[in-house]
Structure 1
Amino acid sequence: MVTETSAGLGTGRASVGSMLEFAWTAGVFTATDAMSATSLTRSTAIDAVDILLDAGILVEHPNARAVGSYRSGRPARRFSLSPELGVVVGIDAGDTHLAITVADPLETTLVHRRTDLDSAHSPQERRTVILAELQRALDEADRTRDDVLSICAGVAAPVNRKGVSPPHPDGFWERTNPGLAEALREWAPIVEVKNDALLAAVAEGAQGAAIGCRDYVALLAGERFGGGVVVDGHLLHGAHGGVGEGVVFDHVVGVESAVGLGYALQDAVRDGVADGSIPATGAVGRMADAEPIDPRAVLALASEGDADAVLVSTRVGASVARIVGVLGSMYDPAKVIVCGGVAASIEPVLAAARAVLPEQLHLPAPDLIASSLGVEVVSLGAVASARRAARERSVPMLAEGRLRRRS
């Protein structure tokens, strides 16, 4: 579970802040429910509810008599968060894809749009496309900028706490994060730009293989390797947002590259044909001339026991074991979760990696598992982070502002 610090309401409104925090997960509740959860007195709880009702943060529902559950005595008033608070937005801006999700602050996805991005675009062109797709998503959800409580965008680059990526020797980070923090500033009161692997770790901790785990790495492994690292329940970030940056694998013997598993499998097929270990006439060998090679087809053959595909999986698995060995030695995780679209079919590679992983480190080897969250893992993490920002910052700010205007 990843820990964060709640901003809450201002000084003097502790009871209102406690009531608001309770309401996020309570569904429809009564004052008695709130008293039990918050330790507020009845009068204080009712005062806090009335303040939040007056600010439009809570809404009142028909009482127990009106919904047919009243038995005796005075029927209890029933409340919940207002469904009209606004929306949150999660953005997954990968190197070659863009996914935008508009959701309510609690649990419902309203719109999800996914499209391709041109990796040859300039930063300005990329920024223009992202903002245009964001507007289309809001239009499809029948929402405006005024409805947006928070935005979280995931990018394939290190990102510092201000949402800015450092310079890259080839300009890659500047292109994949084309000034999004500044570009989105007018779209929401809270804007966060984060590394995509970090958001994958958020998703795995919230609804994936790391629920309840305090030490894990979410290893994005599609186009390039990158790790979102959680230690002692805390996301690790670094001065420039570079914790888990994959360039380290360029310098690991037996890996020598940060390219992801899709490319690694293609290279292993072509290398095997070139060195004669994979016959060019076999089912795998015939793939060598394809551009690109479909890694899922190779993995499907490996799952069926095809000897050449198993050889490819074994060779790539040895590289994965070295990568996980480095992560295991640096961060001592209980789990390493391979994430991204490739995860659904990657088991033959992981099985090969597990067989040799204990040789790669002195510590106990982490569990090496495939994510079940699929290609949308970064989107899920972005939405979860946007919801957290709305809960801890945007809505308390909204409540505070409305209360000031009413006082």
Structure 2
Amino acid sequence: MPRTPEPGLRAADGEDAVAPAGADAVTPGAAFAVGRPSLGQVLDFAWGRGPFTATEAMAGASLTRSTTIDAIDTLVEAGVVRELPNARDAGQYSGGRPARRFELPTDLGAVIALDAGDTHLGVTVTDLARTPLAHLRTDLDPRHTVGQRRTAILKHLEAALADSGVPRDRILALCAGVAAPVTRNGSSPPHPDGFWERTNPGLAEVLAGWAPVVEVKNDAVLAAAAEADLGEAVGCRDYIALIAGERFGAGAVVDGHMLHGAHGGVGEMVLLDHVRGVGSADGLGPTITRIARELLASGAAAADGALARLATEGLRAEGILALAADGDPAAAEVVRGTGAHLARVVAVLGSTYDPERVIVCGAIADAIEPVLDAARTALRPMLHLPAPKILRSQLGADIVLAGAVSTALAAARTIGLPRLAARRLHGAD
């Protein structure tokens, strides 16, 4: 099962934790509607452990032996914990009375993660050990109305669930990432052009019946959660996850708290419209192609050079970066210019949040290291504070889905699984 980092991130101002729950997370026992907190303590201990004995559970859950055994037997009878062959039967023990062994089945339930962007939708269903059961990725029409976007998301969500083979009543939590700021109730504020309403078409309401816990989060917030759980921010309490493909968006963690804001707008990068030398929130992809066009238009790049030939086929960031990697001088100049542009963006983030690390995320991160090298050099004189480390994310194009899985698993652990156990204990499942 997925690990639970310690210490876990807590959201500021009472917001639920975005990153996977840590040492201070609500325990499953708190979700039981009746007494027997020992059941929740054993469940919490069993999460992610693999096989365990009553002695291990007793120590881990801080319970007496008799209480531990009673709780385990109750959970086994309810079908929530599975008893395994003892150590002798498993061929791992040869002397004395073998200890009983148990596990929390990873197929007891599942979680769903969504990445609902402006032009794409990703859906992943995993078991409780993060093993993928279904994965779907499709293009979306950016001209959708709100109603059309809702219909498209539900259609593909149902298709992914069908592919997974998991009954809907076994979904313990769902988390959706959207390209919009998200308030604490899962809604997004209005956007002047209707963009946020389209990318978050009331998903908290639309998906409410899909799981005991449904969370809607900003995509950069989920990127930050993924980096904390699986990537370059493991063990770090001050960092920025910077989604940097088509447009910039930042998930900001300060002193171990995921920052949110009154309208979920922390990390919205429209402020870059007002930064000299940056001018917009356009991400690294558009910036690379813009600088290449400017270089060609100014005559600074040879009219018969590789960059000019590439322009006849259509300038794309990936092609320009590949030219730079092959040593083309004009493409290398584009890389330097893009690095200087990124350095200004990081300088704004560094002055605002004082992060230890800025992690450049998204599909573009796979080939962006030369730009990061240029940005590191350009950044040093831009700040009075120590410059943050600029790092490349290793989590690829599906980083938002990864963060949504982490967040959904944390919710399954603290709420969804205990509710399933409570239903079974009361014979309602």
Aligned-partner Cα distance in 2 for 1:166–1:181: 13
State the number of aligned residues. Answer: 405
Identity of aligned residues (%): 56
In structure 2, what is the Cα distance between the partners aligned to 1:385 and 1:123? 25
Q: State the shift of 1:35 in Å.
A: 1.7
Distance 1:165 1:7 in 2: 29
The 5-angstrom pairing of residues 139-218 of structure 1 reads 139-218=162-241
The residue correspondences of 1:281-296 to structure 2 (distance < 5 A) are 281-291=304-314, 293-296=315-318
2:119 is aligned with 1:96? yes
- Residue of structure 2 in register with 1:350 after alignment: 372
Partners of 2:149 and 2:289 lie apart in 1 by 28
User: Offset at 1:405?
Assistant: 4.3
Instruction: For 2:365 and 2:92, locate their aligned partners in 1 and report how far apart those are by CA, in whole Å.
Output: 48
- Indicate the residue corresponding to 2:319 in structure 1: 297
- Name the amino acid aligned to 1:156: A
SS in 1 for 2:190: coil
Q: How does 1:346-385 map to 2 (within 5 A)?
A: 346-385=368-407
For the 8 Å contact 1:153–1:194, the answer to whether it is kept is: yes
- Where does residue 412 of structure 2 map in the other structure? 390
Match of 2:82 among 45, 59, 65: 59
Q: How far did 1:247 drift?
A: 0.9
Equivalent in the alignment of 1:2: 9
Structure 1 unaligned runs (5+)? none
Do residues 115 (structure 1) and 115 (structure 2) align? no
Using the alignment, how far apart are the partners of 2:303 and 2:368 within structure 1?
23
Q: What displacement does 1:83 show?
A: 3.7
Matched, 1:270 2:277: no
Q: How far apart, CA to CA, are the structure 2 residues paired with 1:389 and 1:230?
A: 20
What is the Cα deviation at residue 303 of structure 1? 2.1
Cα pair 1:24 1:106 within 8 Å, conserved: no
**Superposed displacement of residue 193, structure 1:** 0.5
How many Å apart are 1:287 and its aligned residue? Answer: 2.9
Equivalent-residue separation in structure 2 for 1:295 and 1:206 (angstroms): 29
Out of 217, 220, 228, the residue aligned to residue 243 of structure 2 is 220
Distance in structure 2 (CA, Å) of the matches to 1:261 and 1:22: 44
Q: Which amino acid aligns with 1:149?
A: L
Match of 2:20 in 1: none
Distance in 2 of aligned mates of 1:301 and 1:6: 51
Residues 119-145 of structure 1 deviation map (CA, whole Å, 9 limit, x = unaligned)? 111111111111111111111111232
Counterpart residue type for residue 28 of structure 2? G
The residue type paired with residue 44 of structure 2 is: E
Give the conservation status (yes or no) of the 8 Å contact 1:64–1:76.
yes
| Unmatched tracts of structure 2, length 5 or more | 1-7, 11-16, 18-24
Cα deviation, 1:13-54, whole Å, max 9, x if unaligned, reads: 332221111101210100011122222211111112122223
| Post-superposition CA distance 1:131-163 (Å, at most 9, x none) | 111111111111232121111000100001111
Q: Kindly report which structure 2 residues correspond to 1:229-248, keeping only aligned pairs within 5 A, or say none.
A: 229-248=252-271
CA distance in 2, matches of 1:136, 1:332: 43
Q: What is the alpha-carbon distance in structure 2 between the residues aligned to residue 13 and residue 271 of structure 1?
A: 68
Which of 286, 297, 302 in structure 2 is aligned with 1:279? 302
One-letter identity of the residue aligned with 1:276: G
Q: Distance in 1 between matches of 2:27 and 2:57?
A: 20
Structure 2 partner of 1:126: 149
Aligned to 1:327: 349
* Larger deviation, residues 353-362 vs 161-170: 353-362
Match of 1:256 in 2: 279
Deviation of 1:260 after TM superposition, in Å, equals 1.1
Q: Secondary structure at the match of 1:25?
A: coil
Q: Secondary structure of the equivalent of 2:220?
A: helix
- Equivalent position SS for 1:121: coil
User: Match of 1:167, SS?
Assistant: coil
Distance 1:83 1:253 in 2: 52
Of residues 2-11 and 149-158 in structure 1, the stretch that sits farther from structure 2 once superposed is: 2-11
Residues 94-133 of structure 1 deviation map (CA, whole Å, 9 limit, x = unaligned): 1111110000022211111111111111111111111111
Instruction: Name the SS for the 2:52 alignment partner.
Output: coil
* Conservation of the 8 A alpha-carbon contact between 1:103 and 1:110: yes
Q: Distance in 2 between matches of 1:306 and 1:289?
A: 17
